[in-house]
Amino acid sequence: MARLQLRAGKSPAQSPAERDNQTLPQRRTPTKSTSSSGGGMSSFFSRQSVMMLAVGLLTGYVILPIFLIETKIRGDYVYGRLPQITTSDEVINRSRMLPENDRSAALERLMEDRDVMAHQSLPTSTTPQIMRTKTLPDHHRKKILVTGGAGFVGSHLVDKLMQQGHEVIVVDNFFTGQKKNIAHWLHHPNFSLVVHDVTEEIMLEVDQIYHLACPASPPHYQYNPVKTIKTSTMGTLNMLGLAKRVKARILLTSTSEIYGDPQEHPQKESYWGNVNTVGPRSCYDEGKRVAETMMYSYKNQNHVEVRVARIFNTFGPRMHPNDGRVVSNFIIQALQNKDMTIYGAGEQTRSFQYVSDLVEGLHALMNGKYDMPVNLGNPDEYSVKDFAEYVHKMTESQSKIEFLPKSQDDPSQRRPDITTAKEKIGWEPQVTVENGLKKTIEYFQSVLDEAGEIIPTGPGAAKPEA
């Protein structure tokens, strides 16, 4: 597992030894037993170890359980794997618990298990496929922090970085993130998860920071607008402070919402926007605008390497079913043959990019030389009404389309100009909306099969469900 150096909040400083004692449980010191029933065996092994060894000898295998632990570290929790076999010496030491005749075969199996765990993810219900990882030499492998890495976009980004062979640390407070999105990596030695709120300081040693932490859909960011502003401002300030201290490059995922209800169409990065500073969406819009300002202030004053991605509407597997966006709402309603709700006349336009395209864009931007804001979105434009009818047709639904009053400050049009992305980082979308929708519909069908029923979330929704 990637090594962590953590300091959250105002906890007192601790020595490396104290941190180690908090991170990993202490091994039980062998003591001599006076019990006549235990004998020498109980003096060396715990009762659990004896039982496991007995079962192992009967079956011809050694059972090495994998535990998921929550270990408190200065107010945070780190998820890891126990026992974690990371060295050949440790594997050999474990094999010595067996009779001499069984050691060779057991050692071979243990080494095979170690190699498998070090080079692939584990299949889960939401990610049944196994994801293979590369082995990078030390001078190519990076330690990468992804805030909001358990969320929709963040978890797909984590998949890419892990498959490339990097060490990845996810920081998430699970307000909208879901543990199942990253469950397939929890046992991998290159992966670490820290449950932490970015509005509090954290100390890590990293090479790159992808700062995605912030609720991004109206029902979620409007549930606690003050916290949304704090996440965008204080969270970004803390990540910039970390980037400055450890000389890491930092990428902020900003948003097309900074353009507000645009009077320029399509929107270029040079457009300053048309934002209502006191409207219900302003906590998110203005928070991201301030975050961008902070990024370039740190760049100009402290020479921090910064990247800013302005993300347009994105969809794909792992979308939160209650995020209130048109893609998730339409698909869930259509699959359940419930009325498909459109807020307004449906004439407002949107562009939709598939999540894998966005991840490629974020990666290209982070590792390129261009350091000014870049639009990442699909320039194909649909009216909301046409998009609803498209989903209706693809799902072969019996739903009817229902029109409800338009939400306040809902943009009338949204479409990116991606000329900068093409010219500066060599990126443009590759997945068509049709192909992306097929995968997303399959995903939500599996979610519905498991949940039984999902009630979509509208503009007036409150706290997201877990």
Query: Could you give the domains of the chain?
Result: 197-451 (3.40.50.720)
Does residue 443 have an active-site annotation?
no
Give residue-wise pLDDT tens across range 205-217: 999 999 999 988 7
Q: Which residues contact 282 (CB under 8 A, 6 or more apart)?
A: 275, 276, 409
* Chain centroid offset of residue 38 CA: 48
- Distance, in Å, from the CA atom of 236 to the CA atom of 32, rounded to the nearest integer, reads 55
Give the whole-angstrom CA distance, residue 283 versus residue 272: 17
121: its two tokens? 């993810």
Tens of pLDDT, residues 50-96: 565 555 555 444 434 333 333 333 334 444 433 343 444 544 555 45
* Global confidence as pTM: 0.75
Pair type for strands 306-311 and 374-376: parallel
The pLDDT of residue 180? 94
Q: How far apart are CA 250 and CA 212, in angstroms?
A: 11
Q: In 3-state terms, what secondary structure has residue 28?
A: coil
| Contact status, residue 278 vs residue 317, Cβ threshold 8 Å | no
Give the active site residue among 284, 298, 343, 354. 284
Show Cβ contacts of residue 22 under 8 Å, excluding neighbours closer than 6 positions.
Answer: 14, 71, 72, 73, 74
Structure tokens given for 120:
């692939």
What is the reported pLDDT for 46? Answer: 52
Count of residues in the chain: 466
State the maximum Cα–Cα separation within the chain, in Å, rounded to a whole number.
Answer: 86
Q: What is the pLDDT of residue 48?
A: 56
- The residue type at 411: P
**Chain segment 111-141, per-residue pLDDT in tens:** 566 566 677 877 776 677 778 888 888 888 9
Residue with tokens 């290209």: 364
Structure tokens at 150: 């358990």
User: One-letter amino acid identity for 165?
Assistant: G
Task: Return phi, psi of residue 71, to 5°.
Answer: -110, 125
Going by C-alpha positions, the residue among 439, 431, 456, 343 that lies closest to residue 394 is 439
Determine if residue 335 is left, alpha or beta; phi over 0 gives left, psi from -120 to 50 gives alpha, anything else beta.
alpha
- What is the pLDDT at residue 409? 72
- Per-chain mean pLDDT for the chain: 80
Nearest Cα neighbor of 273 from 254, 264, 283 is: 264
> 447: which 2 tokens?
């979610």
Q: Which helix (H) or strand (E) holds 331?
A: helix 326-335
Distance between CA 449 and CA 130 in Å, rounded? 22
What pLDDT shows up at residue 265?
93
Q: What pLDDT does 59 receive? A: 47
Q: Is the peptide bond before 83 cis (omega within 30 degrees of 0)?
A: yes
The ranges of the chain with pLDDT < 70 are 1-117, 125-126, 457-466
Residue 367 contacts residue 251 (beta carbons within 8 Å):
no
Residue closest to 254 by CA, chosen among 88, 117, 372: 372
